[in-house]
Amino acid sequence: MKEHWISREADIPLEVVILLIVGMTMLITGALLFPVSAGTLSYNENGLYGLLLVMLAMQIVTLGKTPFGDLRRSRLLLAVGVVIAAIGITTCFISDIFSHLPRILLFIFFGLGGLLLLLQMFLAKEKLRTWVRYGGIFWQLILGCSAVYLLSMLAGLLVWKQSLMTTRMTAVAVLVYGAAIIYLAGVLWKLYGRYPEAERPSKESVELSTDHAMLLLMGVFMLLLGVLLIPVNLGLLPFSGSAQLGLLMVFFAVKMLASGSTPIGLFPRSWLMILFGLLFTALGIVSCIIPDILVLPLTVLVGVLNILSGVITLIKTCIPRLKKSDKRSPDPPIMVRLFVTQLTMSLLSILFGTSMLVSGLIPGLVIGIILFANGCTLLYLLHVLTVLDEMQSEMVGAAAS
């Protein structure tokens, strides 16, 4: 029986995933700016700026790709990426908390970054001249890169001085920019399929897998959310619950698109999973940009996913230990720490999900503490997993020698 296309494996590189999400952000923003200009929809500018900063930070942390070119993933570069992500996350949650900082950063990243990347493409030996010599799909790469770099410069100018164009003209420009990014993502996807070696990153001074990088960013997300909810609940800061839910959905979507990892477990990365990932992306983008429009359905969805995630992890963690014989030798300390961390994460996830579904069940201040603890636990889990990876590498090296 012939396999249906929707269940086939879909191999999408992480760089393409991030470009697709940024392209979708631009397309959806451009489309929504038309009703915004007509006054039929409200618009959260900071939600858009924060989301874009988070996506740029995600490229830096996971791939070492900065707005100014590719760099080795060093500890310093990871720290810069985390700081940019923190600024983006906070910008989404709390409007105008950083005043003009998000706009300045986006002007630098899009405007000056686009100019620098365009110059690099023309001047670097291994880029334009080599691509012209190869021909074929590389002509499409030249077209895609040129369009994206030029439109990035325009986007930077529009962020810096919005009065350059009317809202409708800006909407058209953003739509064209989004289409150019999607086109470049498609070209890179095809290119990496033909030349897999082109996808390999340069030698890195810090080994950090995609899953671990996402765990790092999710930990920062939860820490900041927990900390900010304390002054929010005391009435000291405004808060965009819509952007918080939207950004969380985008985090879910990136993991689904990149590895098939969902809040309720790991699934084969089929076309069905890709479609769900794109749906989550679209919902998250709209929720970040348009306040309150999707708060109710996303609150229910995120609450249910957190409860299911906690319950499933609890079952997977506890049942195997209960089945083991009492006569066995004690677990290594690192495995005990892993078990305790996973158990804590499960309980915190269930608490957070329940608080979203049952309003008023847990006081707002307590929710902030729960989220802060969840962020700390995620970062500690990253530390434990890193130690386990190092131990495994040492064992493999010892066996090989």
Q: CA–CA separation, 145 vs 3, rounded Å?
A: 36
Residue 233: its H or E element: helix 210-233
- Which tokens go with 354? 């329940």
Tell me if 58 sits within 8 A of 20, measured CB to CB: no
- What is the spatial distance between Cα 159 and Cα 124, in angstroms, rounded to a whole number? 29
At 11 the pLDDT is 79
* Distance between CA atoms of residues 253 and 248, nearest Å: 9
pTM of the model: 0.91
Span 193-204, average pLDDT: 66
Strand partners, 309: none
Q: How many CA atoms lie within 13 A of 220 on its CB side?
A: 23
Considering the chain, what is the average pLDDT of its residues? Answer: 87
Q: How far is CA 211 from the centre of its chain?
A: 11
Question: What band does 287 get if pLDDT is binned at 50, 70 and 90?
Answer: very high
Task: Tell me the C-alpha distance between 47 and 289, whole Å.
Answer: 5
Tell me the pLDDT tens digit for each residue of 54-85: 999 999 998 889 999 888 888 899 999 999 99
What DSSP character marks residue 97?
A: T
Percent of the chain whose predicted confidence (pLDDT) is above 70? 92
Report how far residue 359's alpha carbon sits from residue 353's, in angstroms, rounded to the nearest whole number: 11
pLDDT tens digits, residue range 102-146?
Answer: 999 999 999 999 999 999 999 887 888 888 888 889 999 999 999
255-277: per-residue pLDDT in tens? 888 888 888 878 887 888 889 99
